[in-house]
Structure 1
């Protein structure tokens, strides 16, 4: 069943149950407690009271609260409610007089030998006033709660739409950022090694297929993301000389899990950008591990003096966008650090993700 229709049916059922309870109180509980035969005019009056309470409830819920209370018309709302209370009593008294109910009730009590205190005709029915106030309070509370829930659902829907739009924009920035660098690498490789450049193009086409078809849902299996990283590393190794050592240690997967795509690549790409030297030895080490749904990434690369500024200004389009994605997709479920070691002159990026029901939004 449609959730909207289901909620509507539940709301209607709750309203019916509540009014059945009030009908029982007015038509059965109070009259039966007197234990005397009552004239039919009494039941007409009680039915009129019930209809009046129903009218007060829905007028207040659908008109007074939305048009006055919710629009900061507090004074006007109070004035109207007081006016309703002032009208209720005389209306019921008029109904009593038209039905000749006071005389009929006196005869019924006298015939049964039950003492009934004399009631002045102009005296207000306190029980009825209290019932009306209770109905006003219930209808006001129900309407305000429903409005609060509707506003909350609207805020959540707008937040999801906003996150989806931001993620679509961030992914659109990250992917071209990666491909521009990769195509430049392949272009440089074509001048020195045609066969390896063909292999590189094949790997790039496989990576493009992954991005075009496997990441459109907003989530991807971790195994495919690891394969993508392996292809990227193999592609980067084709243009490196023997002075750079690249190592990768992937997670042992007993079962595949879903993650957001393209989260790790910008950090790995940054290691190649700043951790490779044409003459000096350098090391790039990538470690991915998974334990109890906690995914951990560690990227270590050598720092050279000419690239020392990256310690204080660690950023770039791909990196800043990836950190923004982490904030959106894994709020409160990730940790990130980037630091330089003093003894070994290395730069270390450390990222952990808790993969319990990540809030991923597809575009």
Structure 2
């Protein structure tokens, strides 16, 4: 049973229970203790007033509050409540006169040996009815306002979640084409120089595409799958590298298969291959993935800092890294740290990511 279905079932049941309790207190319980036998007209008046209180409760909740208070007509809303309260009191007085209730209650008190109270001149205010009417109007207004606030909060949370999901999809969609664009350029170069390597590259690329299309749709992936994807990417990139480039990858043995966001590690590695490799100079790329414990993943990528355009997290060449930082903010708020050292003592550009998983 969903939360919406449960609320749909419980709401009318709650209303019936509350009104049942209200009826016991205000209708069946006489306002005076002792052995007074109240006339039938008293119970008739209480029953009719009970129905009036139910009516003004829902009138206030469904009409007065939504159409006046929620639309900013506060003055009209207050006047409507005062008019409703006065109307109920006038109607209560009308019932008393119609049923000749004052005289019949006087006879009932005399029969019980209780001296009757002398009637007050002019309009007599029924304190019990007045208090009950104001209580009903106040509760109706309060409940309606709280329900609207809760509904708006749920809607706002739902919209925020939808916006986050849409933004994550957008960021992921930006990262994936960015990667495949670079990879296809590499394969194009290989088709000219080495057909066998090009076929190997295409096979690895198809395996990586299968991972991206079918293994990452759930929003999380196993760390071992992400490592396999990274290895495929590294081997694909190394097909075009010379012996002047040294690539090392350090990983835990065995790997604790925790769940992480897919395609989260690739932009760091892609940035290293894009900005840390040169055909005319010796260079180095070192990638390390460590698991200090079952809930922490440390990922570090260092590459030789070459005399190339800026490759930091805010530069135009690092769009994948900019998107990755935004994904981290959305997926791991307060549970990640990202350190950039540029340059290090060894003249390297280093990025270190620490994820604290649930």
Q: Please confirm whether the aligned pair reaches a TM-score higher than 0.5, indicating the same fold.
A: yes
Looking at structure 1, the residues matched to 229 and 313 of structure 2 have their Cα atoms a distance apart, in angstroms, of 29
Alpha-carbon shift at residue 319 of structure 1 (Å): 2.0
Instruction: Say if 1:311 and 1:172 are closer, same or farther in 2 by CA, change over 3 A.
Output: closer
The whole-number CA distance in structure 2 between the counterparts of 1:270 and 1:81 is 67
Establish whether residue 109 from structure 1 lines up as the match of residue 109 from structure 2.
Answer: yes
Change (3 A) 1:353 1:41: same
CA contact (8 A) 2:64 2:77 kept: yes
1:340 aligned onto 2:330: no
Question: Paired residue for 1:151?
Answer: 152
Q: Which moved more, 1:279-288 or 1:179-188?
A: 279-288
Residue 341 of structure 1 aligns to a residue whose secondary structure is coil
What is the CA-CA distance between 1:149 and the residue it aligns to? Answer: 1.1
- Structure 2 residue matching 1:45: 3-state secondary structure: helix
- Shift of residue 208, structure 1, vs aligned partner: 0.8
Higher relative contact order (CA closer than 8 Å, sequence separation 6+): 1
Q: CA deviation at 1:116?
A: 4.1
TM-score, normalised with respect to structure 1? 0.92
**Equivalent position SS for 1:72:** coil
Deviation at 1:352, TM superposition (A): 2.0
**Which runs of 5 or more residues in structure 1 are unaligned?**
357-363
Question: Residues 235-292 of structure 1, C-alpha deviation per residue, up to 9 Å, x if partnerless?
Answer: 1122112222111122456653322211111111000111112233222111222324
- Aligned partners of 2:253 and 2:45: how far apart in 1? 78
* 1:218–1:311 CA distance, 2 compared to 1 (3 A): closer
Greater alpha carbon shift after TM alignment, 9-18 vs 138-147: 9-18
Which runs of structure 2 are paired with 1:127-142 in the superposition (5 Å)? 127-142=128-143
Alignment CA distance shift 1:296-1:312 (3 Å): closer
Contact 2:344/2:350, CA 8 A, preserved across alignment: no
Measure, in 2, the Cα distance between the counterparts of 1:251 and 1:32: 81
CA contact (8 A) 2:313 2:321 kept: no
Q: Deviations over 1:292-312 (max 9, x none)?
A: 4222211111101334x3348
Cα offset for 1:205? 1.0
The equivalent of 1:193 in structure 2 is: 194
Alignment CA distance shift 1:342-1:166 (3 Å) = closer
RMSD: 1.9
Aligned to 1:21: 21
What is the CA–CA distance in structure 2 between the aligned matches of 1:254 and 1:113, rounded to whole Å?
A: 91
1: distance between equivalents of 2:211 and 2:67? 54
Query: Could you say if the C-alpha distance between residues 30 and 348 of structure 1 is closer, same or farther in structure 2, counting changes exceeding 3 Å?
Result: farther
Q: Say whether the 8 Å CA contact 1:284–1:302 is kept in structure 2.
A: yes
Whole-angstrom distance in 2 between the partners of 1:70 and 1:35: 49
Q: Note if contact 1:252-1:289 (Cα within 8 Å) is conserved in structure 2.
A: no
In 1, the alpha carbon distance for the partners of 2:295 and 2:107 equals 80
Do 1:335 and 1:352's aligned partners in 2 also have CA atoms closer than 8 Å? Answer: yes
> SS in structure 1 opposite 2:279?
coil
| Aligned residues of 1:311 and 1:339 also touching (Cα < 8 A) | no
Q: Distance in 1 between matches of 2:313 and 2:294?
A: 33
| Corresponding residue for residue 48 of structure 2 | 48
Report the CA distance between 1:83 and its aligned residue. 1.1
> Quick check: 1:208 aligned with 2:184?
no
Q: Which runs of 4+ in 1 moved over 6 A?
A: none
Matching of residues 1-363 of structure 1 within 5 Å: 1-31=1-31, 33-120=33-120, 122-252=123-253, 255-290=256-291, 291-307=293-309, 309-311=310-312, 313-315=314-316, 316-356=318-358
For residues 20-67 of structure 1, what are the alpha-carbon distances to aligned partners after superposition, in whole Å with 9 as ceiling and x for unaligned?
121111123334734321111111111111111111111110001100
Which deviates the most, 312-321 or 109-118? 312-321
Task: Give the 3-state SS of the residue equivalent to 1:30 in structure 2.
Answer: coil
Q: Which moved more, 1:309-318 or 1:271-280?
A: 309-318
Partner residue, 1:360: none
Stretch deviating more after TM superposition (246-255 or 49-58): 246-255
